[in-house]
Amino acid sequence: MVVRESSPQIVTFGESMALFMPEEHKSIERAATLEQSFGGAESNVAIGLARLGASVGWFGALGDDPFGKLIMKTLRGEGVDISRVKFNGDAPTGMMFREHVAGRLAVHYFRKGSAASRMTPEDLDEDYIRSAKLLHVTGITCALSEDCRRTVRRAVDIAKEAGVLVSFDPNLRLKLWSIEEARKTLLPLAADADYFLPGWDELKLLYDTDDYAGIMERLNALKGISVIKGMGDATIVLDKGVETAIPFYPAEQVVDTVGAGDGFCAGFLAGIMKGLTPIESVRLASINGSLVVQMRGDWEALPEWEVVEQRMSAKAWVER
């Protein structure tokens, strides 16, 4: 008889949306057909973690519609615990459309009033969070509504009270809210995180400066470890005032950069759960992110552990 843990090691939650995009690099306006998938930062990370062998659960609110059912079934098939997912019969699953316009990526959201945007602190299973080892949250969920902001805040408070580690990726989305609103919510969450995972461009917006020394001073005042993505061709780990630069792992080809950040985050958290140091975890994360950009899709290209392990140990790739 197998005794199941009360919670996975890592718990995350947020909005997952139906995703539609033209084949290849056409615009929506010119496309005759659209390819269907789904995406959402937290569920992407959850799939990435599961493929790397981590014990992970994702929850959120989905519409009681075909899109919500597709998301739930796919996550379950990927080995993600979805036991706390809730379906809302009165609100739809959010949707997003992605296209390339004049060589640049454009995303169109249809998520106002979605099931996920109606999440409240009362929807949280507090014991599910308390029994985990790490809670991962992002700023995207906070941007959906005031109720969602309160829900994220409450989840972090539950984790902190229970001694559960907190990972926070600001994932700044200025299509969803203003930078002023974002700062009021995201900076306090960064202060409470054990692992803060911002991009350099996000930090410049959040701290309203591009002064490197000034931003580092602000980050050094935080209690947790900061992992700063997109610093030239490296990632910076800032741990108790010590800065370590880890070069990006090279990609043989770049096909689609959309899932790179979520792949990086999944790799980093998987490393932490495997007992690696933050620096070792960033190396794993960099490999994971590099592999993701070489295929199309939000989460489809996330690699299995065996593939990443081969790159980490420089094992030869047996093609045939």
Distance in angstroms (rounded) separating the CA atoms of residues 212 and 14: 31
Distance in angstroms (rounded) separating the CA atoms of residues 294 and 9: 29
Active site residue 90: no
Distance in angstroms (rounded) separating the CA atoms of residues 109 and 145: 14
Decide if 194 contacts 224 (C-beta within 8 A).
yes
Active-site entry in 81, 169, 194, 262: 262
Q: 164 in helix, strand or coil?
A: coil
Q: Which of these, 64, 62, 53, lies nearest to 13 by C-alpha position?
A: 62
Run of H or E residues at 165: strand 165-169
Q: Is 241 left (phi over 0), alpha (psi -120 to 50) or beta?
A: left
Report, as residue numbers or ranges, the catalytic residues.
262
